[in-house]
A = this chain, B = another copy of it.
């Protein structure tokens, strides 16, 4: 099949969306109407250094294009969601602890390799765009995206547009303190939302309880190799009746409910959308608790019309959002 025979090729061009994380790179090719027609995946291998990683991103993009028999010349723009603090104007990664990157001109480097306009923003901002646009039809006037994975990040939509704040760091909801006497967070403070409800926080609690003699099905499930634990294993343990794991997960959900209520009290948004690996794996266990606790903590009248939902897009929110970023940056 040549490009000319490709039925979707009547469109005026394609976009690529890249979800660039600390461990893996996902890329997707999208039609002008933001339908995904091909994807590719690569390990990040951050330890190989900046240049090698940027080349891997470029290769991951070309592989996705190959997948749908397109070439880089068919692409109007590339969007990238990257972890850490990003200068969305210059497309620089200012600081990314996960990647150990500082002041990397990602946009410029990729544009030089691929000769196509590249737009970069923070991964949670980009995923929020993805949920807003592809899942909610760009309809809510205001929305908060909350993504719970290894860490916790967020994105804010106001007046149907991504709100990035003065220096593009808006949405750092993981570092909202909700328990001043809580556990230490990676950021150096105590009781941040991320230190209480992220995958890392949940796992730390489980490891420490096991060390203190707590019995759990997880030990058997993982054949003693607890360091291999993933969010899905918690789900399996709960399914098999592990009350301890259920209690830890419900506690994380309660903290999440309070964080959701705080955000509703501050921003009174139309939609709060929860996503990320932890929510995906433990939706049934966590969402009812989150809804209940948020309802009890929201200020009277501030939540009556707010919808709290879990994202349906899963992993693909990142690449779809990045494609939305590419398209909207090119045609503002």
- A residues contacting B by CB (< 8 A) are 85, 94-95, 141-142, 154, 156, 158-159, 163-173, 175-182, 187, 189, 191, 255, 258, 261-263, 265-270, 296-297, 299-302, 304-306
Contact status of A167 and B94, CB under 8 A, knowing A180-B178, A266-B172, A296-B189: no
Contact A301 B95 (CB under 8 A): yes
Contact status of A269 and B165, CB under 8 A, knowing A85-B301, A187-B299, A258-B177: yes
**Which of chain B's residues has its CB closest to A164's CB?**
B268
Copy tally for this chain in the complex stands at 2
CA A154 to CA B165, docked complex, whole Å: 18
Contact B266 A263 (CB under 8 A): yes
Least CB distance from A88 to B in Å reads 12
Contact B166 A270 (CB under 8 A): yes
Contact B180 A179 (CB under 8 A): yes
**Which of chain B's residues has its CB closest to A87's CB?**
B301
Contact B266 A166 (CB under 8 A): no
Given contacts A177-B261, A179-B191, 12 further A-B contacts (CB under 8 A): A95-B301, A142-B166, A158-B159, A166-B270, A167-B268, A167-B301, A169-B302, A172-B302, A173-B266, A178-B178, A179-B180, A189-B297
Q: Is the interface of A mostly helix, strand, loop or mixed?
A: loop
Contact B262 A177 (CB under 8 A): yes
Q: Across the interface, which residues of B come within 8 angstroms of A261, CB to CB?
A: 177
Contact A165 B142 (CB under 8 A): yes
Contact status of A269 and B166, CB under 8 A, knowing A299-B187, A300-B85, A301-B94: yes
Instruction: Give me 13 A-to-B residue pairs in the complex whose CB atoms sit less than 8 angstroms apart, sorted by A's number.
Output: A95-B300, A141-B166, A159-B159, A167-B301, A167-B302, A167-B305, A170-B267, A173-B265, A175-B297, A179-B180, A180-B258, A181-B181, A187-B300
Q: Across the interface, which residues of B come within 8 angstroms of A166, CB to CB?
A: 141-142, 268-270, 305-306
Least CB distance from A102 to B in Å reads 11
